[in-house]
Amino acid sequence: MTNDMKVWFLASEVAPFAKTGGLADVAGSLPNAIKKMGVDVRVALPFYRMVKEGNFPTRKALSRLEVPLGERMLQGDVLETATTEGVPVYFFDRGDLFDRPNLYGTPEGDYRDNLERFTFFSRAALLFARVVGFSFDIVHCHDWQTGLIPTYLKTIYREDPFFSHTASLFTVHNMGYQGIFPAAKLTTCGVPATELNPEGIEYWGKISLLKAGIVYADAMTTVSPRYSREIQTPEFGMGMDSILGKRSADVYGILNGADYSSWNPATDEHITNHYSLDNMNGKKKCKADLVKELGLPQRFVDRPLLGMVSRLSAQKGCDLLAQIVEDIVRLDAGLVILGAGEETYQALFLKLGKKYPENVAVRIGFDEALAHRIITGADMLLVPSQYEPCGLTQIYGLKYGTVPIVRATGGLDDTVQAFDRNSGEGTGFKFVEYEPGAFLDQIKDAVKVFEDRPGWMKLVQNGMQADFSWEKSAREYVSLYEKVKARATER
């Protein structure tokens, strides 16, 4: 349908190259779906150590690109590879900034020079396109790490003929990460001092790269319809609600899709016993293997097994889960937690795992294969988030017949339909109040339904039949690209 649209798709993490969370899943799969619609889309991310160690086949696309950073002129190389669907992917290589053990920081905190790191990446991505003559129509930026790009297009590159008809779309995956730095850093960003005002990049006496993206982009999206409404309220806006309010006509909510080429129980490369709705035996075997792998007692092959795969942060409802672990043990259910993140939560869950070794298995770290095995082998998937822009694990859980128990917020509310025992409709369990009791009640209900096998099978079936593939959302993105492009052409 669209064959003259060029999109430069920039994100700080892209699966399978570098991943800490759902942004990587989205940035790794949405471009493939967009390409299928005839768009010339190209993706870029920093060349982290994680990418380097992945040993992806690459070729040098450009050597010694010159990139201004404050008073300095830095140089960086650009490497090129492609996704499985043939979308070109560019890695921006600068060892002193990106050749580090982690993407953003350690469990103790962020890297101190994150502003420099992502300013370099943002500026480099625009300059690279100009050097190689990739005259993109839309730059699709994600999260604060790329928030300076819309800013550059509206300020220092406003009169640059190469960028004059370029429009920007900014997708916010999480309002909680705002890229806030001292105002004195504005010169490092290379943004004119005139922009340091409440209508611009300034945020309570500092600068916010998230705010910059919101203010300067031609349009903004977030990753579920409900979250797009929530963030315009003080409760969920995290201080940005009034800024968003001013732009509400340009704020869109487009639900994330799932990449069923990686997340499908019939083909998943990380599991040994494949299965589908017609024959669920594979799931049983995967559960038995998981119970064994985790060292849980054999009886959990038949008892309900709850799983959680998550970044460990306050957002994810870790405190809520910690408060009901003892009750879960009393129900004689099993619990497996895989997570990495804040030190306090890592320690808290490890302690609970030690206290209840018969029922609770805790694995700290980032482990893609284990994440798949848990989402496959568990009976229920817990996502008790305080807030959730979209959430992907519950969507994966549905496909694997692993019933989600979620808090009714953001994308969790948009993707899970509460199960009604009478009508047999619905795909999971939802609670509204952010309270341990409300969460536990849903777990208890789920356990009851689990024990009524025909009811449970109906519920599992409903979830496995739900379709969250990317096509529909990719279509929404492409029509938004067209809308924004038309506006830019009129400029």
Would you tell me which residues interact with ligand ADP (CB under 6 A)?
A: 21-23, 25, 309-311, 338-340, 366-368, 371, 390-393
Q: How far is the CB of 179 from ligand GLC (least distance, A)?
A: 14
Q: Output 119 or 178, the one with its CB closest to ligand ADP.
A: 178
Q: Output 168 or 415, the one with its CB closest to ligand GLC.
A: 415
- Inter-axis angle of helices 343-355 and 318-330, to 10 degrees? 10
Q: Output 26 or 361, the one with its CB closest to ligand GLC.
A: 26
**Which of 265, 339, 391, 401 is in the footprint of ligand GLC by CB under 6 A?**
391
Residue of 95, 99, 59 lying closest to 76 (CA atoms): 95
Q: Which does 223 bind (CB under 5 to 8 A by kind): ligand ADP, ligand GLC, none?
A: ligand GLC
Using an 8 Å Cβ cutoff, are 179 and 209 in contact? yes
Span from 20-28, 146-154, 155-163, 437-445 in contact with ligand GLC (CB under 6 A): 20-28
Q: How far is the CB of 269 from ligand GLC (least distance, A)?
A: 22
CA 272/CA 483 separation, integer angstroms: 45
Q: How far is the CB of 90 from ligand GLC (least distance, A)?
A: 21
Q: Output 241 or 441, the one with its CB closest to ligand GLC.
A: 241
Q: Does 23 bind ligand GLC (CB under 6 A)?
A: yes
CA 484/CA 217 separation, integer angstroms: 10
Q: How deeply is 99 buried, as exposed, middle or buried, from its count of CB atoms within 10 A (0-12, 13-18, 19+)?
A: middle
Q: How far is the CB of 67 from ligand ADP (least distance, A)?
A: 28
Span from 123-131, 320-328, 367-375, 382-390 in contact with ligand GLC (CB under 6 A): 382-390
What's the DSSP call for residue 58? -
Q: Which does 371 bind (CB under 5 to 8 A by kind): ligand ADP, ligand GLC, none?
A: ligand ADP
Using an 8 Å Cβ cutoff, are 257 and 33 in contact? yes
Q: How far is the CB of 11 from ligand ADP (least distance, A)?
A: 12
What's the DSSP call for residue 18? B
Q: How far is the CB of 183 from ligand GLC (least distance, A)?
A: 27
Q: Does 390 bind ligand GLC (CB under 6 A)?
A: yes
Q: Which does 368 bind (CB under 5 to 8 A by kind): ligand GLC, ligand ADP, none?
A: ligand ADP
CA dist 337 → 165, 217, 236, 362 (Å): 48, 38, 27, 5
Residue of 150, 168, 137, 172 lying closest to 254 (CA atoms): 172
Q: Which does 338 bind (CB under 5 to 8 A by kind): ligand GLC, ligand ADP, none?
A: ligand ADP
Q: How far is the CB of 211 from ligand GLC (least distance, A)?
A: 18
Span from 15-23, 144-152, 208-216, 273-281 in contact with ligand GLC (CB under 6 A): 15-23
Q: Which does 366 bind (CB under 5 to 8 A by kind): ligand ADP, ligand GLC, none?
A: ligand ADP
Residues 6+ apart with CB under 8 A from 17: 28, 45, 50, 51, 54, 56, 89, 91
Structure tokens at 318: 């870790």
Write down the residue that tokens 């899943």 correspond to.
25
Q: How far is the CB of 301 from ligand ADP (least distance, A)?
A: 23
Q: Does 22 bind ligand GLC (CB under 6 A)?
A: yes
Q: Output 304 or 463, the one with its CB closest to ligand GLC.
A: 463
Contact string (CB under 6 A) for ligand GLC, positions 251-280, x = contact: -----x------------------------
**Which of 392, 443, 447, 484 is in the footprint of ligand GLC by CB under 6 A?**
392
Q: Which does 309 bind (CB under 5 to 8 A by kind): ligand ADP, ligand GLC, none?
A: ligand ADP
* CB atoms near residue 160 (< 10 Å): 13
End-to-end CA distance of the chain: 24
Residue of 201, 210, 207, 138 lying closest to 173 (CA atoms): 210
Alpha helix (H) residue ranges in 231-335: 234-237, 241-246, 281-294, 318-330
Q: Does 428 bind ligand GLC (CB under 6 A)?
A: no
Q: How far is the CB of 145 from ligand GLC (least distance, A)?
A: 12
Residues between 211 and 230 with contacts to ligand GLC, criterion CB under 6 A: 223
Q: Output 13 or 40, the one with its CB closest to ligand ADP.
A: 13
The residue nearest ligand GLC at its CB is: 22
Burial 164-173 (b: 16+ CB within 10 A, else e): eebbbbbbbb
Based on its alpha-carbon atoms, the radius of gyration of the chain, rounded to whole angstroms, reads: 23
Structure tokens at 65: 């690109």
Structure tokens at 480: 């938004």
Using an 8 Å Cβ cutoff, are 381 and 308 in contact? yes
Residues 6+ apart with CB under 8 A from 488: 137, 165, 166, 167, 218
Q: How far is the CB of 221 from ligand ADP (least distance, A)?
A: 15
Parallel, antiparallel or unpaired: strands 403-407 and 429-431: parallel
Q: Does 388 bind ligand GLC (CB under 6 A)?
A: yes
Q: Which does 304 bind (CB under 5 to 8 A by kind): ligand GLC, ligand ADP, none?
A: none
**Residues near ligand GLC, by CB under 6 A:** 21-23, 26, 173-174, 223, 256, 388-392, 411
